[in-house]
Amino acid sequence: MAMTVIDSTATNIALPTIGRDFGIDPAAATWIVTAYQIAIVMTLLATAALAERLGYRRVYMGGLALFIAMSLACASARSFEWLAAFRFAQGLGAAAVMGVNGALIRLTWPKALLGRGLGYNGVVIAGTAAAGPALAAFLLSIGDWHWLFLVNIPAGLFSLVLAARFAPDRLPETDRFDKASAVLSAAAFGALFLAASQAIHGRWSQLATGLLLAGLMAGGILVRRARTSTRPLFPLDLIGHSRLRLAYAASICAFAAQMCLLVSMPFLLEGERGLSVATVGLLILPMPLSIALSSPVAGRWADRPWAGAMSAGGLCLLAVVLLVLSFGLRSAPPLPLIGAAMALCGLGFGLFQVPNNNVLLRTGPVTRAGAAAGMLTLCRLTGQTGGALIAALSLTMIEEGAVPALLTAAILALGGAAFAQCR
């Protein structure tokens, strides 16, 4: 998991360098990131369903092997087109790892300690997200961008050894795999993601409209097929559970609020305060570090009767800090106070995330652990995409758009808190 997270954050830092090497403009260079993300969102539910058919361990290790092989291919790419293609294939491997990771956690940790396991997983994700930009900067200072992919190979091989030794080898849950639904899922989520990407970058066109309509049409057919299936690839059986439905909604709102904050803050700090990029990065760093520190604590309390109230309280804390930031940044507060506010945002998010993930993974039957893990990641990606879209629209359509984006993030956090409390 650390590899897939670092790969996403580190590659963002290297985009200008890669663009210069291949002689392409910055807008085209973003396809290196988009190709990776779209492969994940297109195949996430399909790989989760495939894991229930073939076995979680087999799909996880297969995805990890593909990720390693495509890392080597990316480092060897001689053209931008081949690099984007290899990044797409690398995203397919990452989808298998992400889609099955939650199921492996559920099957590995004793039921009474699952919350603690999720807390440690939160430490890994938040900690590596914080370390990604620093690692990328270090590698780019001593070598070229190829090393960002080459570093995955020894880490990936070590991970394969660990998975071969310790990953639970559970028998398949079913002997069926709905190929038609897998194609529909890829078409629906891929088209909708591309349309959202066009909107985020302010390039809405007839093509984007066509993608939106195609995605909605494929999604409608996918849902119709799911209604007549006993093990639907699009897990309507899980979504139909009221507690899970509320937890899904809370997760989407929380990640949307987080992404609104992360997209808006650089515009406020660089544009309003004239701070350097390095300073902005240091001011945002306390947020993932705080998530990493608070996640194990939240994991120990994830099974308590008041865990729902703790989740809601964490998002309320996030909402309050977002409101303070939206109104207070204009008065040019001292930089340490901004860093402290970001740390409080991370604390609130950490207290929310682990108990909510605990509900997402253990509420449904263990025979649907793959679908539950896929939905957990899909909610995160949906929320992050929606938050980026909201922030981008605010920044492009509204004067002084960064402040309204923070206010919108606060509203989203409060909405997530309401869902978390009700579940």
Give residue-wise pLDDT tens across range 184-222.
Answer: 999 999 998 888 877 766 667 788 889 889 999 999 999
Q: Name the 3-class secondary structure at 286.
A: helix
Output the CA torsion 322→323→326→329 (10° steps). Answer: -90
Question: Looking at the domain that runs over 235-423, which CATH code has it been given?
Answer: 1.20.1250.20
User: CA-to-CA distance for 375 and 369, rounded, in angstroms?
Assistant: 10
Handedness of CA 8, 197, 344, 353 (dihedral sign): negative
Domain 1-178 classified CATH 1.20.1250.20? yes
Which residues of the chain, if any, have pLDDT below 50?
none
Judge whether 372 and 238 are in contact, CB under 8 Å: yes
Could you tell me which of 92, 74, 117 has the C-alpha nearest to residue 299? 117
Residue 141, number of CB atoms within 10 A of its CB: 7
**pTM (2 d.p.):** 0.83
Determine the pLDDT at residue 273. 67
Judge whether 329 and 101 are in contact, CB under 8 Å: no
Q: Which residues of 19-53 are buried (b: 16+ CB within 10 A; e: fewer)?
A: beebeeeeeebbbbbbbbbbbbbbbbbbbbbbbbb
**Secondary structure letter of residue 145 according to DSSP:** T
Could you tell me which of 148, 158, 144, 23 has the C-alpha nearest to residue 87? 148
User: Which helix (DSSP H) or strand (DSSP E) does residue 83 occupy?
Assistant: helix 80-108
Determine the pLDDT at residue 27. 64
User: CA-to-CA distance for 382 and 98, rounded, in angstroms?
Assistant: 14
The tally of CA atoms less than 13 A away on the side-chain side of residue 339 is 11
The tally of CA atoms less than 13 A away on the side-chain side of residue 329 is 29
Judge whether 204 and 198 are in contact, CB under 8 Å: yes
User: CA-to-CA distance for 366 and 276, rounded, in angstroms?
Assistant: 49
User: CA-to-CA distance for 143 and 75, rounded, in angstroms?
Assistant: 12
Q: Name the 3-class secondary structure at 53.
A: helix
**Whats the size of the chain, residue-wise?**
423
Residue 129, number of CB atoms within 10 A of its CB: 19
User: CA-to-CA distance for 401 and 19, rounded, in angstroms?
Assistant: 28
User: CA-to-CA distance for 129 and 5, rounded, in angstroms?
Assistant: 6
Could you tell me which of 49, 60, 124 has the C-alpha nearest to residue 93? 60
Judge whether 403 and 226 are in contact, CB under 8 Å: no
Could you tell me which of 196, 217, 190, 218 has the C-alpha nearest to residue 208? 196
Q: ∠ CA(242), CA(243), CA(249), 5° rounding? A: 90
